[in-house]
Amino acid sequence: MSRQFVIIGLGRLGSAMLDTLLSLNHEVLGIDFDEDLVQDLSSEYPQAHLVAADATEESVLKDLNVGHFDGGAVVIGENMEAGILATANLKELGVPFVVSRAISKLHGRVLERIGADRIIEPERDMGAQVARTMASPALMDYVDLGEDEALIEAEVPNEWVGKPLADLHLSRANGLAVLAVKPKGKAGSIPSGDTVLNEGDVIVVGGAKEALDRSPLVQPENR
């Protein structure tokens, strides 16, 4: 079912969100202060409604009827004040779910206090992910779930090859759970205790960050 979203800030992050939401057949209103950027993106995404406007002005958002949208994102670049004001405006107008970009921990705390439903720090998150990948080349993806839990996508470590999941006792030993297994060249599936892991398989494992960091999934000497 198509829903309506507003994206404030159409830089690299905002335009990537715009592209994804449109590909999911949602209606998207994009707002940016830069008229040239809006004009360029309008020719690239004619199906979107893109506007050159100042989203820190509540009257602008009210005229665009964003209070009836399903969700919004404030992903303005380095202008902390503008991001705070735009976020406050969206919540004041009644947008039920607002994602806001923070450029520092202090900025994030302010955004949380004014009602942002989710805070993202893409530079910090990407930096952490790249560092983990550099330290553990077999690691393909790392998703921080907040608090102390995460998901890891990685190749099966050598010491797990040829063993059924039940024999690894992952849950009992350290609180890890294999959520999906994708054999080389085949579609992925949800595994059972009888699933045998083979060389070249890619697995998705969830659990405590500390346990994941100690596991052979990320320790190169164990691979």
Encode pLDDT of 36-95 as tens digits. Answer: 999 999 999 999 999 999 999 999 999 999 999 999 999 997 889 999 999 999 999 999
Q: Between residues 150 and 134, which one has the greater pLDDT?
A: 150
140 and 89, same structural domain? no
Residue 223's pLDDT is 46
Q: Check pLDDT > 60 for residue 35.
A: yes
- Residue 73 carries which side chain, given as an amino acid letter? A
Q: What phi and psi, each to the nearest 5 degrees, are found at residue 182?
A: -125, 100
pLDDT of the residue at 165: 92
For all residues of the chain together, what is the average pLDDT? 90
Domain's final residue, options 101, 120, 139: 120
Burial 13-31 (b: 16+ CB within 10 A, else e): bbbebbeebbeeebbbbbb
Please identify, among 100, 120, 140, the residue that sits at the C-terminal boundary of a domain.
120
Q: What is the pLDDT of residue 220?
A: 57
Q: Tell me: the pLDDT tens digits for 151-163? A: 989 999 999 999 9
% residues pLDDT > 70 (the chain) = 97
> In the predicted model, what is the mean pLDDT of residues 161-188?
87
- How many domains would you assign to the chain? 2
> 138 and 92 in one domain?
no
CA gap 50, 96 in Å, rounded: 21
pLDDT in tens, 99-129: 999 988 899 999 999 999 999 888 887 787 7
Q: Which CATH number is 146's domain given?
A: 3.30.70.1450
Question: What confidence category does residue 137 fall into, taking pLDDT thresholds of 50, 70 and 90?
Answer: confident
Please determine, for residue 135, whether its predicted confidence score (pLDDT) is greater than 80. Answer: no
Look at 171 and 166; give whichever has higher pLDDT.
166
pLDDT tens, residue by residue, 180-190: 999 987 888 99
Share of the chain above pLDDT 90, in %: 63
Q: Are residues 138 and 216 in the same domain?
A: yes
* The residue type at 63: D
| Mean pLDDT value across residues 21-50 | 96
Amino acid identity of 12?
R
Domain limits at 20? 4-120
Return the beta strands (E) in the chain as ranges: 4-8, 27-32, 49-52, 71-74, 98-101, 118-120, 139-144, 149-155, 177-182, 202-208
Same domain? 101 vs 162: no
Please say which residue of 95, 120, 145 terminates a domain: 120
Does the pLDDT value for residue 98 go beyond 50? Answer: yes
- Rg, Å, the chain Cα set: 21
Q: Are residues 138 and 99 in the same domain?
A: no
The stretch 194-209 carries a mean pLDDT of 91
